[in-house]
A and B are shown apart, each in its own frame.
Chain A
């Protein structure tokens, strides 16, 4: 009986002690738990391998100049003269044309459901949606839009590392893996096969469609870029971190 009486407070004390230890371990020196939390490392996107930072920063400045002085005025004119539905239709049309890229990227990752959805969407949008200008597939059960896959994501899913971070002239942020993926995308895209542009007699046509596709896609990109630039202490660093996190998330999904 005596032992029992002695044990009870001892057990409570142990429990309280255990809880206090959890609290104390979270503290760093004299820091309160809240302070220690503020100083903890963040994992996502913090570590981007950027050995060519000085060159990349220079290319970033170049792209910024081109965006602000050439592409933005073009895009502003395009959005001003194009009614919103037409603008959206053009964007849908070029997105629909990239179906082979999305199909192959889904299949290469064994994402058969994704391949099926993309195929269904392409079939519906290309026919009922007037060559992809409209997206009636959105309303069909099981064919709601899914996230686009590309060859860079395929390489990521296969376990290939990102490699160094790169800023490409005119194209913006990338890394070695996504640059290789970019050429893969182009070889699968019926409009943008790069090597044929050199000798192909139809290069003017390909350039015109590529340029139109670029402009049709640009309003959203420009808007996001302007937002990023307006809210960033260091736009280069912000874009690098944002790109790395976004791509890592896309590969992980």
Chain B
């Protein structure tokens, strides 16, 4: 009976504390990443950069903190198996470019948003949610970041803006696509999308 002695409880308690503080550290990491990305777009020192250069720098900042492939793989779901290895790599890259482009265009011509992180909630084994509010053009939006502990560390796998989950939205689109189309069709569609709305090099955000 002595097995579950105070030492055991002490060890379990320490593990719990370590786990909670590791999760809290994710909040700080997320805030740093958001600030760094917004600095690239809005800082006075970056005014000479073109929209494409800014996009490249934003990508660098995001990728230095998180593996963007995780969110894209989660959005693709089981459709991943319907593509060959070459298609998988190309789709990952093209979706990444598309999402980044949408992010940049979404902020085009607007003042720097103010983003405040709120409560962190554990939503399951190795999963957390971080609430946030974004004030953009005097309007407040509620955004939720969902993170999961992967082999590569804590990674963002979903962003829920005003109740709309980005991963779920893309999953629905990709599911619909693969009902009739192939991996090659998806690549062609993504390339068309990127070419259609190429960011104007002269655009200054």
Q: Mark A37-68, 1 if CB is under 8 A from B, else 0.
A: 11111111110100000000000000000000
A32 to B99: give the CA distance in the assembly, Å. Answer: 27
SS class, residues of chain B in contact with chain A: helix
A102 in the interface, Cβ–Cβ < 8 Å? no
Residues of B within 8 Å of A237, CB to CB, are 172-173, 176-177
The answer to whether the Cβ of A120 comes within 8 Å of any Cβ in the partner chain is no
A224-247 interface mask toward B, CB cutoff 8 Å, 1 = contact, 0 = none? 000100111110011011100110
Q: Is the CB of A245 within 8 A of B151?
A: no
**Interface assignment of B122: CB less than 8 Å from any CB of chain A:** no
Q: Does B165 contact A (CB under 8 A)?
A: yes
Contact B165 A42 (CB under 8 A): yes
Q: Is B80 an interface residue (CB 8 A)?
A: yes
- Tally of contact residues, A, Cβ under 8 A: 36
With a cutoff of 8 Å between Cβ atoms, the chain B residues found around residue A39 in the complex are 77-78, 80
Interface contact A227-B106, CB-CB below 8 Å: yes
Flag if B163 contacts A46 (CB, 8 Å).
Answer: no
A61 to chain B, nearest CB (A): 15
Residue of A nearest to B74 (CB): A38
Q: Produce 1/0 per residue, B161-187, CB < 8 A to A.
A: 011110111111111110000000010
Minimum-distance CB pairs A-B, first 9: A249-B163, A231-B102, A241-B172, A237-B176, A234-B173, A237-B173, A42-B168, A233-B173, A11-B3
| Interface positions of B (Cβ within 8 A of A) | 2-3, 73-74, 76-78, 80, 98-99, 101-102, 105-106, 125, 148, 150-151, 157, 160, 162-165, 167-177, 186, 189-190, 193, 196-197
